[in-house]
Chains A and B, each alone.
Chain A
Amino acid sequence: MTTTLSRPSSAPAPGAPPPRRVPSGDPWHWAVTGASLLAVLAAASSLNGVVEPWTWLMPVVLTLVPVLLAMALSRTLRLNGALSALVGLVVLIGTLTAQFVRRQSILGVVPGPGTSLELRRLLAQAEETVVSQVAPVLPAAGIMLIVCAALGLVAIIVDMLSTTMRMPAASGLGLVTILITPAVVKPNGVGMGAFIVTALAFLLLLATAQWRENRLASGGARASSGFAARSAIIGSAALAVTVILPMFVPGFNSGLFPQGARLNVWGNATGLNPAVTLGNDLRNPTGFGRIAYATDADVPLYLRAVTLEDFSGRRWEPDQRLDAREDGVAEIGAEAGAPENPTDTTTVFTRVTTQSYASPWLLAPYAPVAISNLLGDWAWDPANLSVLATDGGSTARQAYLVESAAPQLTREGLGAIGPSDYEEVPEVFTELPEDVPEIVRTTTDEVAGEFVNPYDKALAIQSYLRDADFTYSVEAPVDGGYDGSGLDVMARFLETKSGYCVHYAGTMAVMARAAGIPSRVGIGYTPGSPTGDTEEGPNGTELREFVVDSRNAHAWPELFFEGAGWVRFEPTPSRGVVPNYAQQSTGPVGPRADDTDALNPGAPRNAGDEAGSTSEASEDAADPAGTGPQDEAGPAEGVLALGGIVLLALVPLLMRTSRTRSRRRSVGISEVSPGAPGAATAAWAETTEMAGDYGYPLEPTDTPRTFAGRLTREAALEGGPALSLGRLRSAYEYEEYADHDARAVGGPPADGTRPVATLARPVAPPRWDDVDAVTRALRSRSPWTRRIRARLFPQSLLNRFRSSRR
């Protein structure tokens, strides 16, 4: 057979041919391009947590769809491969222009005269975001521009590789480049969900590309369906191994990507937020971001940047409250809920030199009254006195003077404050999600339930957390997979009793809210170490100099007391300084809850007993760092893993059964309407594969006859099954080798001589009963081991891989 393939008329000029010629009439590249789009979007889903979740989706879709659409169109129009990439690039520039610098553009899509200036501004803004914000960053225009541009370029590369150059496997590199950013930035690495979705999308891309190859190779004929099934097995098996294996192999915790090496099954609630970067800062052994401050305070000074109080998203988050902020920090008003006429306050002057420390949140001792010598526009929040840059600026290279008024607090003063319903405090400081883990409520109840006054409750909680049962560790949460500030993280922290300041502070704040006390988490720095230098402050005071760096990063709870305002506590052992008013004492200042409860007089309890019994109850879980959480998760993980293994083990059986079923269907059709193509082949394929499963494989040199003969002999088939096998074989031979274009054979010869009659006529259509008969016979003649192997590990699945190689 000779087929003359004609070159398309718009064939590229000699000297610049595409890598491999794409035959004319190839509409299937659209499918591959579609798969490329899906793959890039799937990989982009790992950006959740780097940018605020799903905020990237719309701009990215608006960028990718036109680009890939244009590239596919250019291929349909038979443009040269390199040209289609160029088209993609041009369209990418157009969509980016339309989305981000429309005002400076010509006709909305062509970059205009002012574009470069605007671009420079956006890029600077993006740089600022990267430097100053912690992930997940807000979807500002600058960062979105970079995300869209990068994803657009990757999409062009992926599509070029998989469609034009027909090297779909290589396009995986493009997808990996997308995953690298979250792998480095997010503490949990890429994340299980995003990884699986990306891998599946990549497999889909491979399958689609191969499907197209088959279509091209067969000149458009319907391609074998086997390929999809095969790639599905290989892909899902590889994916399952990737996901399940690390659970059982210890020691994926060190190296360049200590957290990224292990796909974190549990780390779902924590994207990146200030609380977690703080953990990363603490884990950094060298320390960076040196900050010097000089102060005249006579007590150790905490520098505070921001407070976390919003718990509506099920984790501690800062709230910028841009609408409520008041511009200008030369004079800072009173905080909401602060005592109206504070009598005992100490005014403290602090000069802060930030050097390279860059953040949109200004570091200041609590509670700032006035800030001077500050560059840029800043605004303060009446709700928590946090100071935020409103012009995109940051604290980098600033030296400013803060005047703060530290309230004079005493145990007695605080202890005298009775319970309140805190109407003047915004709800954001008191809200708890409804699904607070049970352990938080029960522990709070056990620890603080017996006290009436909020101050006593707070002290009880603080002393419970500072108990020796709790171990300070910056590594354990990461190893145990509960780093972060989510609700479930608090619960796991209470179980394992090991964590660092974020966990102590966050947990105390949650427990305080559970006990009815408004709370928030302050983020900033512990006092640091004195340098010994002094400098002259305003009004001739002497300021002593201290330095802090990333190792001093800290989080602490601040609790609200009616009439006293916000009060700092220090539940983290061995970190920071416990304020005088929050020191341990022998007994509660206020009355106990059971003092007023006449029904329960004989049960005096104290906080120490409570803590003791609680820790006893969960002693197993209080193992030193890291082992606890894994033990805890043991049974569930075991069941999960076992279920996974069982499911995996059943995959061959299910695939084999589904194949049998589809063949049975096609044979059934031919029984109803004889002559349906493929029925005999399907029945014979089922017979040979079934025989292979039972240890009588079809060899490549076997003809149907030799195979049937050998099977009959070796499996000792006789009677019914042997006849069934013969019928199946004849039907297959007829279907495979005979001429089906009806041709009169044996009619009277043209020369009028005596006819010599017909040689053969079509055989009866195959019947599934025959397949069943042979299968039954094979099964009954096999030992049980072979029967099980034939069901669970059918060789025919492997043989199909082998046969496809030929």
Chain B
Amino acid sequence: MDVQHNIAEVAADPGLAVTAGPEVSGATFHDISTRILGSINTVIDGKPEAARLALTVLLAQGHLLLEDVPGVGKTLLAKTLARTIDCTVNRIQFTPDLLPSDVTGVSIFSQDTRRFEFRPGPVFANIVIGDEINRASAKTQSSLLECMEEHQVTVDGTTHALGDPFMVVATQNPIEMEGTYPLPEAQRDRFMARISMGYPDPRAEVDMLETHQSVSPLEGIRPVASVADIAAMMRQVRDVYVSPAVKDYTVAVGQATRQHPRLRLGASPRSLLQLLRAAKAGAALEGRDFVLPDDVAAIADAVLAHRLLLDRKATSAGETASSIVHDILSRVPVAREAPRR
């Protein structure tokens, strides 16, 4: 099954004319998501799927891993997403000498109060951009990853809650690059989805050269949604209905990864939970309050591929985790049984 094709089909959905929500006072879910995506697309040329995936992960309350070679706009995407929303944004440039306390914050002895005071680190924000996360030492990486999981920071025995919403958008270079500490499997599992940006197509690249020459495209970006909007949208995403058939399908996909002969490690139960959450957000972005198997299939590559471990034979045969996910999607039956009556 061609996932890319699915997305195109979803976009050109004649049924949507009937299913689109009505206009009510204030902005609809559809309006806000359209505005956010529109803003991002003015900055990132020719990557609407990446923008959409990023927003999907945000609404599904997950964390996003952007992985690609340097210079294709990973950081720009993260920054743009953060700026379209009226929220606090921090950026951490990971380097080999970065310490955990540089991420979480430190307690400093105050001469005035004669007590230790907590100085929050850059992780205290709604959206945290972790640039080149694989350049930092494993110790520092794990300090961030713990924050991602727990949504809180504990320093010197005191627990400090992180922002709400809280999303980490980490970028990393492919592991073959020099001077990197690849994320271990357990930590990759914490990211809801991984996106490879890929090079823009030639036309988009020409446009990019033209518009980005003089001014930074980020400067024109104004927030189009408030934190409250995003929180409300997240609630709606949580309420999206998942039918038993779709749950069965999700589990079937997960089991297929565990039984696939070319995989050493299949999808974890946590990953299936996240897959379904992302699918809910995807459905909501489509204007639906129920999940279709298509929503699951459309996001399965992004959610599952970075957690799968290929065996040596598959690697040497040039297979990738993505190709295996697509292979699985083309084999797992959708309907529990053919429609009757």
Could you list which residues of chain A lie within 8 angstroms of chain B, going by C-beta atoms? 224, 226, 662-663, 666, 678, 681-682, 684-685, 688, 698, 700-706, 709, 722-723, 726-727, 729-730, 732-734, 736-739, 743, 745-746, 749, 753-761, 763-764, 799-800, 803-804, 806
Contact = CB atoms under 8 A, between A and B. Distances in A.
23 contacts: A681-B341, A682-B339, A688-B339, A702-B334, A705-B9, A705-B10, A709-B9, A723-B14, A734-B19, A734-B290, A737-B241, A737-B293, A738-B241, A743-B241, A754-B232, A755-B25, A756-B232, A757-B26, A758-B22, A758-B289, A759-B287, A799-B338, A800-B338
A760 B293 contact: no
Mostly helix, strand, loop or mixed at chain B's interface?
Answer: loop
B334 A700 contact: yes
B338 A727 contact: no
B341 A682 contact: yes
Contacts of A226: 340
Given A688-B339, A745-B236, A700 B333 contact: yes
B158 to A, nearest CB: 27
A756 B1 contact: no
B29 A803 contact: no
Contact of A705 (B6, B22, B228): B6
A704 B32 CA distance: 28
A730 B19 contact: yes
Nearest to B288: A760
A752 to B, nearest CB: 10
Contacts of A759: 21, 29, 236, 240, 284, 287-289
Interface centre among A663, A743, A759 (most CB of B within 10 A): A759
Interface string B304-341: 00000000000000000000000001111111011111
A739 B294 contact: no
Contacts of A806: 333, 337
Nearest to B334: A703
A666 B339 CA distance: 14
B146 interface: no
B23 interface: yes
Interface residues of B, number: 57
Contacts of A756: 26-29, 32, 229, 232-233, 236
Interface centre among A701, A723, A756 (most CB of B within 10 A): A756
Given A756-B32, A759-B240, A663 B232 contact: no
B294 A703 contact: yes
Contact of B339 (A685, A730, A746): A685
Interface of B: 1, 5-6, 9-10, 13-15, 18-29, 32, 226, 228-229, 231-233, 235-236, 239-241, 243, 245-246, 284, 287-294, 297, 329-335, 337-341
B56 to A, nearest CB: 15
Interface centre among A663, A723, A746, A764 (most CB of B within 10 A): A746
B284 A706 contact: no
A800 B338 CA distance: 8
B304 to A, nearest CB: 17
A739 B18 CA distance: 17
A91 to B, nearest CB: 41
Interface centre among A226, A702, A705, A722 (most CB of B within 10 A): A705
A684 B335 CA distance: 13
B19 A745 contact: no
Given A760-B288, A806-B333, A738 B22 contact: no
A706 B1 contact: yes
Interface centre among A681, A685, A758 (most CB of B within 10 A): A758
Given A701-B330, A722-B14, A757-B22, 12 more contacts: A226-B340, A700-B333, A700-B335, A701-B329, A727-B14, A730-B18, A737-B241, A746-B29, A749-B232, A753-B232, A763-B15, A764-B18
B297 A738 contact: no
A271 B1 CA distance: 67
A667 to B, nearest CB: 10
A703 B293 CA distance: 7
Contacts of B290: 733-734, 737-739, 760
Contacts of B14: 722-723, 726-727, 730
B292 A733 contact: yes
Given A706-B294, A726-B14, A803 B231 contact: no
Contacts of A662: 341
B229 A678 contact: no
Contact of A663 (B25, B26, B341): B341
B236 A685 contact: no
Contact of A681 (B228, B241, B340): B340
B294 A681 contact: no
B245 A737 contact: yes
A757 B19 contact: no
Contacts of B27: 754, 756-757
Contact of B333 (A701, A737, A743, A761): A701
Interface centre among A663, A723, A761 (most CB of B within 10 A): A761
A93 to B, nearest CB: 47
A744 B6 CA distance: 29
Nearest to A763: B18
A746 B236 CA distance: 7
Contact of A729 (B15, B241, B332): B15
A757 B29 contact: yes
Given A737-B245, A739-B243, A754 B228 contact: yes
Contacts of B229: 754, 756
A327 B332 CA distance: 88
A737 B340 contact: no
6 cross-chain pairs, A with B, having the tightest CB-CB distances, nearest first: A730-B15, A726-B14, A739-B241, A803-B338, A700-B333, A685-B339
Contacts of B231: 753
B245 A736 contact: yes
Nearest to B33: A756
Given A705-B9, A737-B292, A727 B228 contact: no
Contacts of A685: 338-341
B247 to A, nearest CB: 11
Given A705-B292, A706-B1, A756-B233, A726 B334 contact: no
Contacts of A733: 15, 290, 292
Nearest to A755: B26
A704 B338 CA distance: 11
Given A666-B341, A763-B15, A763-B18, A753 B292 contact: no
A230 B248 CA distance: 27
A756 B231 CA distance: 10
A709 B5 contact: yes
A757 B28 contact: yes
Given A700-B333, A709-B9, A737 B246 contact: yes
A723 B245 CA distance: 26
Nearest to A729: B15
B339 A760 contact: no
A712 to B, nearest CB: 9
A804 B1 CA distance: 23
Nearest to B225: A756
Contacts of B331: 701
Contacts of B240: 759
A754 B19 contact: no
A745 B15 contact: no
A754 B26 contact: yes
A617 to B, nearest CB: 63
Contacts of A737: 241, 243, 245-246, 290-293
A722 B332 CA distance: 27
Nearest to B28: A757
B19 A760 contact: yes
Contact of A698 (B9, B289, B338): B338
Contacts of A701: 1, 329-334
B243 A738 contact: yes
Contacts of A730: 14-15, 18-19
A738 B280 CA distance: 12
Given A727-B14, A757-B28, A706 B21 contact: no
A754 B246 CA distance: 31
A404 to B, nearest CB: 80
